[in-house]
Amino acid sequence: MVVPTIKYKLLRRGMSFIRNCSRISAGAALVATSPAWGHVVLSQAQAPAGSYYTAYFRVGHGCAGSATTALRIEVPPDVVTVRPQPKPGWSLNIEHQPLASPIKGEGGRLITERVSAITWTGGPLPDDEWDEFGMSTKLPDHTGVLYFPAVQICVQGSERWADTPSGGAPAHLSHPAPTVTLGPPAAAADSMANMKM
Ligand SMILES: [Cu+2]
């Protein structure tokens, strides 16, 4: 494993935030199949393309020990339908963006804009506690990786979780964007949905 070496180097450079991450990622390494616990991540890292998906953004710790007071999530351009989950103690801000070309939504209603970002503000969520922030989405029909760049604001400082791999190993990103990997559509689930209609 090269990870301990990297952690050591970062610690030597005085990047204290990595201490939070090291404690958490050590636990995550024991359960290799579960998503990483550090950083800001999506709790369910895989979903079928074209499915309805409730995205839970898990905030694992604060900013270098400082409590979290806001989380802003950018919605990928090809995700058109988004509904955020209100949280007690947090207020919601929803940013909209006009669609290049309107699309037909449920019931034939014309959709002319999309939700481009959602921010929860409140808390504070202490550094040594975790929480999840939810939004229901309709995923695009194609397979591949979707990135939801996040900004975590804290009482002191902030962290931007927006790194994406450029051909390299995702494990080496210091501030990876939350991701969900879209697999082939679930045929069984589709036929169930059609039966209900
Ligand atoms: Cu972390």
CA of 62 to the centre of ligand 1 (A): 8
What is the reported pLDDT for 169? 64
* Percent with pLDDT over 90 in the chain: 61
End-to-end CA distance of the chain: 50
* CA separation for the pair 119, 98 (Å, rounded): 18
CA of 116 to the centre of ligand 1 (A): 25
CA atoms within 13 A on the CB side of 3: 17
- Look at residue 3 and tell me whether its pLDDT is greater than 60: no
Q: Fill in the amino acid letter for 156.
A: Q
- Look at residue 190 and tell me whether its pLDDT is greater than 80: no
CB 20 within 8 A of CB 64: yes
* Percent with pLDDT over 70 in the chain: 73
Name the burial class of residue 79, with classes exposed (0-12), middle (13-18) and buried (19+) by CB atoms within 10 angstroms of its CB.
buried
- Confidence band for 174, pLDDT divided at 50, 70 and 90: confident
Neighbours of ion ligand 1 (CB under 5 A): 21, 38-39
What is the reported pLDDT for 195? 57
- Confidence band for 28, pLDDT divided at 50, 70 and 90: very low
- Look at residue 157 and tell me whether its pLDDT is greater than 50: yes
Dihedrals phi, psi of 51, to nearest 5 degrees = -90, 165
CB 83 within 8 A of CB 135: yes
CA of 61 to the centre of ligand 1 (A): 7
Read off the pLDDT of each residue in 168-180 and give the average, rounded to a whole number: 82
| Domain layout of the chain by residue ranges | 35-164
Task: List % helix, strand, coil for the chain (3-state, nearest 5).
Answer: 20, 45, 35
What is the reported pLDDT for 17? 42
Q: Fill in the amino acid letter for 151.
A: V
Per CATH, is 35-164 categorized as 2.60.40.2230?
A: yes
What is the reported pLDDT for 30? 38
pTM for the model stands at 0.76
Q: 10 Å Cβ neighbour count for 60?
A: 20
